Every structure is written in C-alpha cells, then in structure tokens.
Homo-oligomer: A and B are copies of this chain.
Amino acid sequence: MSKKPLILVTNDDGITAPGLRALIEVMNTIGEVVVVAPDSPQSAMGHAITINSTLHCEVHPTDGPQLEYSCSGTPADCVKLAVNEILGRKPDLCVSGINHGSNSSINVIYSGTMSAAVEAGIEGIPAIGFSLLDYRWGADFEVTKPFVEKITRSALKNKIPKDTVLNVNIPVLKSGIIKGIKICRQAKAYWVEEFDKRTNPMGREYYWLTGNFINEDRGEDTDEWALEQGYISIVPVQFDLTAHHTIQQLNTWDFD
C-alpha cells in the first residue's frame, strides 16, 4: 500500500472558518493532514507577508485526526511557517480554502486564499485554492465536498503542471446540481470602486471601500462564463508575471 500524502491545509478566513472545516474533512479522506491557518480573518490580503513585525504560532485544538496550528500572520506567512518550522519538510500538496466568496477572474489578485496557494507553488509544492461563491459565514459547503475530493485526487494522480497552481471556484446553484468542471482562463473583469464616505462621532471623515464587479469579457472559455453556466471553474495560475508578448514592442523604445 502506498503511503498517504502529507497535505498542508490553510485559508484566509481564519482557523475557525466553516469553509476550512469542510476542506479538512475532505482532506482527511485523502491524506495525512496538517492545518496551519491564520488566527484571524485575512481576506483581501493579496500576497502580503510579515517582515516588519513578529509572528506567533500556537497549537490549536483539533476536532479530528489532523494536527492544527494557528498563526498571527498572513496566509503566505502560514505557508512559509508550515514548511520551514512545523512540517520540517515540503508537503505533497497544499490546499487553501474553502474560501467564503469568489476568487474568480481579477479577484485572484486580491485573494489571500490564492496567495497561500501561490506561495506554496513558488516553493515547488503542488497547490490548489478552493472558493465557493457564497461569502456568508453560514454558507453550505456540503455540495462542494465531492467535487473538492475529485479535483484533489485528480491533481495528485495527474500532477499539476510545473510553476502552476490551480484556482478552483465553485458556483452556488438553486438546483444544487453542478453541471461539471471546466478548465478556464481568467476572465478580463474589474471592479468599479465606490467609496462610502461617512463621518465618525468625532467629526472625522472616513471611507468604506465597496464596488461593483464589471465583466465585459464575453469569451466562453473564461471562469466567469463557466460559473454562470453552473460549472466549477479551474484556472491554472502562474507566478511568472512577465508579459512576454510585449517584450518585442518594448525593445523598439528609445530611452534617449
């Protein structure tokens, strides 16, 4: 019998999040699980790391066979700490999530969930970020579990391509019936911000950041399209950010 894979589980909603608990439950059926997750919510942290303050990490009470640690840092910090201080070796897989809310299209840039997966990818660890399109704390993760398991087992069997991490988004459907899984590209979408300007009791103005999501990308190969049609989207994400196709054009510029 083959040895069980060592799976690092993390997220950005914090160690008590229901989405993390659902992910742990699935991973316990696949491998040996160690959880290293933020001790407080770290949504929209992008790929932040903690370099100007200190990090704490504590053993957290577990509710299953997995070991658990809570850390004071960002999702990317959690991965760094896990690999270097807790596991003592690179895990066979890192999974992040299940996020309460979408990380499709441009949201990948702001996502703490995906930053943890990308950090693992940079360190050469196969990695997947999972997100459910329901931001509520009470979101129902039950329907996601068989799909999270299928995708994870397939990734372990087929091997995730080098220098790539998977960004998995799961739709919420009235019917509850997910049509299937589609490999997609990131839709070209963006947020139009709206700042909600208020005045505090001391008379000082402050803002809440809100916004509207605009998707003008009508391609039928995008994550947004797949999700709208009732499919789970998987976008392969890379961390070589070079816009290689523009280099030739930039080489024609004269800097004198």
Contact = CB atoms under 8 A, between A and B. Distances in A.
A127 to B, nearest CB: 13
Interface of A is mostly: mixed
A183 B256 contact: no
B46 A50 contact: no
Interface stretch (A3-11, A24-32, A204-212): A204-212
A43 B47 contact: no
A236 B246 contact: yes
Contact of A239 (B106, B150, B206, B207): B106
A243 B56 contact: no
A75 B31 CA distance: 39
A43 B51 contact: yes
Nearest to A188: B240
A146 to B, nearest CB: 10
B181 A255 contact: yes
Nearest to A166: B250
Contact of A110 (B41, B49, B244, B254): B49
A56 B208 CA distance: 9
A246 B206 contact: no
Given A181-B255, A185-B244, A206 B55 contact: yes
A256 B150 contact: yes
Contacts of A243: 161, 163-164, 236-238
A247 B185 CA distance: 8
B48 A41 contact: no
Interface in A199-228: 204-209
Contact of A194 (B84, B183, B246): B84
A146 B195 CA distance: 37
11 contacts: A54-B208, A56-B206, A57-B205, A77-B209, A80-B195, A81-B207, A155-B253, A163-B243, A185-B244, A235-B241, A237-B241
Interface of A: 41, 43-52, 54-57, 76-77, 80-81, 83-85, 106, 108-110, 115, 118, 122-123, 150-151, 154-155, 158, 161, 163-164, 180-181, 183, 185-186, 188, 190, 193-195, 197-198, 204-209, 234-244, 246-247, 249-256
